[in-house]
Structure 1
Amino acid sequence: MTAAPGFTGGTLDRADHLRHDAEGIAAAMGNWQARLLRLDGLDPDIDADGRLAWGMLSDAPDEAEFVLLGLEDGRPRFAAVVPGVQAAPFARSPHLFKLLGDLRPGEAAIYAAARSLVDWHLRHRFCANCGHETALFRAGWGRKCPSCTAEHFPRVDPVVIMLAEHHGRALVGRQPTFPKGRYSALAGFLEPGESIEEAVRREIAEESGIAVGPVRYVASQPWPFPAQLMIACVAEATHDRITLDVNELEDAMWVSREEVRAALRGDGPFLAPPPYAIAHTLLSVWAAEGG
């Protein structure tokens, strides 16, 4: 049985019923059981037991805005948006990835939601319609402009991540920024007016020159860097002649199921993606299909 994709399996009740209830939100903030997720900038703060660290709402600076992450067995859980913290969606240190690898699945899901929300607030303090400074509303699940009344909501950017398969082999590639030896599934953002299947076909063709036909969905995963939804698919290739787009990839190659299994065990011809990345899930599902 393949493990669930990373950053999934969240255990919080997102408490949508409270988001328009000013009195309910105030009561949640005043609840003695309310807790604040401790963040170091946008990175998770980990306690001595290797779990997410929680503090009191009073630990936040006076100028902080609070986002209601949800309820844990009725107990409110918040994150703080602190002005001056730098949003840095692409600055991900090896230390952060080590922390992510050690987090329990449900806690990783809580952190993913908190990081994406806090990052979004830091980047959307001004109205895209009139330029006026906005204010947090809906318990932190939106911002509203007091000047033109425009409402703004956190966005999620869909990304396709996929394997092309051809006669029992899968196509994997590597970017120059990857750790030495790492190969992964190809990936790219959906474009306006494009279906998931069309995006899969376009991205594979653009990056590798491989034409594909039928596309099947495998799984999805939130990716909080800053706020993507990764949509994992497998597509049937019509040929295996790679024409590399060197602006996107450093290398690409076809690998067998046995080679993928070996890589997932840690003794294969390439370094597999980490378990919390959906590329790991995708490779695991594909490798298991061969029996």
Structure 2
Amino acid sequence: MPPLPQPELPEPAYPSVDSMLARKFGKEVANYFSGSPLNRVSFLRPDHQFLSQALTHPSTLFLLFQNLNPLTSSPTDLVKVKYADLKPLLPSDPYAKSEAEVIKDYNSTTYIPQLVFLGLDERKDGVAYKQLYKGQPYFALDVTPKGNLKEKAEELIKGFEAKGWSFPEGRMHLSLPAEEAAIYAEARHMLDWNARNPFCAQCGQPTLSINGGFKRTCPPTDTADLPSSATSTSTATPRERASCATRSGISNLSFPRTDPTVIMAVLSACGTRILLGRQNRWPKYWYSTLAGFLEPAESVEEAVRREVWEESGIVVGRVVIHSTQPWPYPANLMIGAIGQAVPAAVAAETSVNRARKTGSTTEAGATQEGASRGEDLQKIDLGNDPELEDAKWFTFEEVKEALRVGTSGLGEEASAEYKEGDLRLPPKTAIANQLLDGVVNGFATGTFGKL
């Protein structure tokens, strides 16, 4: 398929303000899916009066999702609807009661569409709460047909489809404008987390969404067996649920998960080449930076060194953090780093010591190609972790040309200038692209060619 338009990246915070950090390290890099215009006002999420006012305000906008796919009118436009459009699914105000009352009235048999308060756009007129917190409220709502509201959700979706709107399937939505992409990322992340945690991890009983969709709790009682007329103010007694450790102490709630992941551009010891790898499911000639999950009791720097060695056999020395990127598929925080391989002789000594401990006979060394060019390039070894189909050392010139004409999303064509057989790279909406751009434009040397 032809490449989709690549949106501009978000502006970093206060880009025009001079600071000693910017002079020393260059300007901040803001990656796609970050840079949300919303003030999350997280301290107001337990305030049901605020949430109720924000939910029903005439200015409030809702992003809708079906099976985690957003409602769109085009690849570059999210559809935003009003509260009145959602009356079939939200016949009453879900925030009319306090959290304590909602927990007390919990009914495990009633399906409630997942609703998440995303924040306030303070640039727009909207709700004014206590004259301190003002702006246009944003919510996300899961309209996937389920439970006792299945037919109403299906009817609502048919109405949207009649307008030409749709819920396009796909893991990536990388053509949205930067601000909308950031709001989408928050919404998808939170809806996905809620959908994955319908039961308590400690006792296995159903959980309840509270705190504007940002927490889940394990209620102590269940009104499912009570007459339909029973409420929190009646004399009827709800059923006591089995005991659960999450209802006492400091671990009384389930919080949204975020999975830290390292992704790194690796320079050769001589500083002339960049290590890239590819998986067999990727298009021909398409390479990217290496990446992997951060493990418990491991620093970011250690994770970078471990992942690079496991996947490519390359021993990395100094590691610095470049930038980070939220990645809502489903809950990653990509921690972008730039590392530099140690000289081949040092790597060989390291590998010999490791071999004595593990019984391996593999030793690292310099490549013949590198030696012929006067470059210090460690040999690549894919034999540890078979995750990669291939890995190579690429020159700065090859990477620069690929950044200019060879970027695209997976399944998309490169630009018309791209020559078959040359290197291809991820689009600029991916942090891998920004890491490579940073390396070839001075981040590693401190020259900062783009400043």
Secondary structure of 2:137's partner?
Answer: strand
| 2:289 is the counterpart of 1:185 | yes
Q: Which residue of 2 aligns with 1:69?
A: 118
Q: Is the 8 A contact 1:37 1:52 kept in 2?
A: yes
Q: Is the 8 A contact 1:134 1:146 kept in 2?
A: yes
Q: Which residue of 2 aligns with 1:207?
A: 311
> Structure 2: how far apart are the matches of 1:143 and 1:17?
16
Q: Which residue of 1 aligns with 2:238?
A: none
| 2:187 is the counterpart of 1:114 | yes
Q: Which residue of 2 aligns with 1:126?
A: 199
Q: Write out per-residue CA displacement over residues 135-189 of structure 1, whole angstroms, 9 at most, x where no aligned residue.
A: 1111111111103333101011000001221121010000122233210000000
Q: Is the 8 A contact 2:265 2:432 kept in 1?
A: no
Q: Which residue of 2 aligns with 1:90?
A: none
Q: Is the 8 A contact 1:101 1:275 kept in 2?
A: no
Summarize the Cα distance change of 1:178–1:48 in structure 2 as closer, same or farther, 3 Å threshold. closer
Q: Write out per-residue CA displacement over residues 189-213 of structure 1, whole angstroms, 9 at most, x where no aligned residue.
A: 0000000000000000000000011
Q: Which residue of 2 aligns with 1:145?
A: 218
Q: Which residue of 1 aligns with 2:141?
A: 80
| 2:50 is the counterpart of 1:24 | yes
> 4+ residue runs of structure 1 moved beyond 6 angstroms?
none
Q: Is the 8 A contact 1:81 1:122 kept in 2?
A: no
Shift of 1:83: 6.3
Between 1:176-185 and 1:195-204, the stretch displaced more is 176-185
- One of 273, 285, 291 as aligned partner of 2:438: 285
Shift of 1:2: 9.1
Report the RMSD for the aligned CA atoms in angstroms: 2.2
Between 1:100-109 and 1:215-224, the stretch displaced more is 100-109
Summarize the Cα distance change of 1:94–1:176 in structure 2 as closer, same or farther, 3 Å threshold. farther
> Structure 2: how far apart are the matches of 1:49 and 1:128?
37
TM-score (norm 2): 0.59
Q: Write out per-residue CA displacement over residues 29-52 of structure 1, whole angstroms, 9 at most, x where no aligned residue.
A: 121212210224312222359322
Q: Is the 8 A contact 2:60 2:137 kept in 1?
A: yes
Summarize the Cα distance change of 1:49–1:284 in structure 2 as closer, same or farther, 3 Å threshold. closer
Q: Which has the larger radius of gyration?
A: 2
Secondary structure of 1:47's partner?
Answer: strand
Secondary structure of 1:8's partner?
Answer: coil
- One of 394, 414, 428 as aligned partner of 1:255: 394
> Structure 2: how far apart are the matches of 1:109 and 1:181?
30
Letter in 2 for 1:123: R
Summarize the Cα distance change of 1:3–1:151 in structure 2 as closer, same or farther, 3 Å threshold. closer
Shift of 1:81: 3.4
> Structure 2: how far apart are the matches of 1:231 and 1:153?
21
Structure number with higher strand proportion: 1
Q: Which residue of 1 aligns with 2:427?
A: 274
Q: Is the 8 A contact 2:119 2:138 kept in 1?
A: yes
| 2:205 is the counterpart of 1:135 | no
Q: Which residue of 2 aligns with 1:50?
A: 76
Question: How many aligned positions are there?
Answer: 282
Q: Which residue of 1 aligns with 2:240?
A: none
> Structure 2: how far apart are the matches of 1:83 and 1:47?
18
Unaligned runs of 5+ in 2: 1-26, 91-111, 123-134, 147-167, 221-243, 345-377, 406-417
Letter in 2 for 1:154: P
Q: Which residue of 2 aligns with 1:157?
A: 259
> Structure 1: how far apart are the matches of 2:41 and 2:70?
23
Shift of 1:95: 5.4
Q: Is the 8 A contact 1:81 1:121 kept in 2?
A: no
Q: Is the 8 A contact 1:67 1:140 kept in 2?
A: yes
| 2:31 is the counterpart of 1:5 | yes
Between 1:33-42 and 1:5-14, the stretch displaced more is 33-42
Secondary structure of 1:242's partner?
Answer: coil
Summarize the Cα distance change of 1:135–1:111 in structure 2 as closer, same or farther, 3 Å threshold. same
Letter in 1 for 2:64: R
Shift of 1:3: 6.6
Letter in 2 for 1:22: H
Q: Is the 8 A contact 2:66 2:142 kept in 1?
A: no
TM-score (norm 1): 0.90
Secondary structure of 2:72's partner?
Answer: coil
Q: Is the 8 A contact 1:2 1:284 kept in 2?
A: no
- One of 51, 54, 61 as aligned partner of 1:35: 61
Secondary structure of 1:102's partner?
Answer: coil
> Structure 2: how far apart are the matches of 1:49 and 1:277?
17
Unaligned runs of 5+ in 1: 86-92
Q: Structure 1 vs Structure 2: percent identity of aligned residues?
A: 42
Letter in 1 for 2:214: W
| 2:306 is the counterpart of 1:228 | no
Shift of 1:258: 1.0
